[in-house]
Amino acid sequence: MAVDAVAFDFGGVVIRTPFEMAAGLEDRLELPRGSIDLAGPFDPDADPLWRRFRAGEFTELEYWHRQADRHARMIGAGPDRLRSFIDALFDAPREEVIRPETWDLRGTLRSMGMRLAVLTNDLSRFHDPSWIERMQVLDRFDPFVDLSNTGILKPDPRGYLRLLERLELPADRVLFVDDQPVNIAGAEKVGMQTVHFDVLDRPASIRRVLGLVSL
């Protein structure tokens, strides 16, 4: 089936994961390596909360709330512990935040005439407006659908349908790329083509995207 548009998840796909940003935060706070003990998919055995999330015990958002609570005192968190934690992790130069492989892929897809979009659960929930402006990403995708304040989160079908409405395309003409299998399953339920973005094998994930859009 031909692809007319590629829609990316934001966190983990367009930008690096919080797990990848932890070492930089330790350096900025002059903490010993391993003090920000996030592991997630990079070492599930070392992250019991991640294993419980992946087993379906709670949502990804709840996972991050729990991690923020665990690290609140260490980072000097404010009243909104989740925002404080994410702000601290991503308080880095743009080139350390944006995932270069995906940014290169974006350029390749655009040169092929592909429409490019984002569907994210949490951009404005996790990041303040000044950070978003500094990353220079909003005008690079059309549409950029942020579900933060809608009462809807992936994998709720209504989130994908909002994206499809904005794209004005049928589901089977859109390729959705996300690093969370549960969100991939949600996209498939509404009929979208999908690629699971494996953060442990990013080159293979990008090859799968290019293979599908080249059909």
pLDDT in tens, 18-41: 999 999 999 999 999 999 999 999
Residue 122, token pair as written in the block: 């949490």
Rg (CA), the chain: 17
The pLDDT, as a whole number, for residue 21 is: 98
Q: What is the mean pLDDT of residues 80-94?
A: 97
Which residues lie across from 120 on neighbouring strands? 146
pLDDT > 80? residue 215: no
Residue 1 has pLDDT above 80, yes or no: no
Confidence at 121, pLDDT banded by 50, 70, 90: very high
What is the H or E stretch that residue 20 is in? helix 18-29
Nearest C-alpha neighbor of 130 from the set 103, 80, 90, 75: 90
Q: Residue range 143-169: average pLDDT?
A: 97
Confidence of residue 135 (pLDDT cuts 50, 70, 90): very high
pTM of the model: 0.94
Mean pLDDT value across the chain = 96
Residue 26 confidence (pLDDT): 98
